[in-house]
Amino acid sequence: MKIAYQGEPGAFSEAAARRVDSEAQLVPSKTFEEVFERVAGDPATWGVLPFENSIGGSIHRNYDLLLSHDLPIVGEVELPVVHHLLALPGATLAGLRRVYSHPQGLAQCERFLRTLSNVEIIATYDTAGSAKMVADAGQKEAAAIASARAGEVFGLVSLAASVQDFDDNITRFLVIGRKPIRDAVPDKTSIVFSLPNEPGSLFKALSVFALRGIDLTKLESRPIPGRPWEYLFYVDLGVARDEVTCARALAHLSEFAPMLRTLGTYASWKTQEGRTPDPFEVVS
173 counts as catalytic: yes
Quick one: which H or E segment has residue 228? none
d(CA 256, CA 234): 16
The single residue of 12, 32, 173, 193 carrying the catalytic annotation is 173
d(CA 234, CA 281): 29
Beta bridge partners of 231: 223
For 1-57, the DSSP string reads -EEEEESSTT-HHHHHHHHH-TTSEEEEESSHHHHHHHHHTSSSSEEEEEEEETTTE
In the chain, what's the furthest Cα-to-Cα distance? 65
The single residue of 45, 171, 189, 265 carrying the catalytic annotation is 171
Amino acid, single-letter form, for residue 172: R
Cα angle 27, 40, 186 (rounded to 5 degrees) comes to 90
Q: Which of 105, 94, 93 is nearest to 164 (CA)?
A: 105
Radius of gyration over every alpha carbon of the chain, rounded to an integer in angstroms: 20
Q: Which residues are catalytic?
A: 171, 173
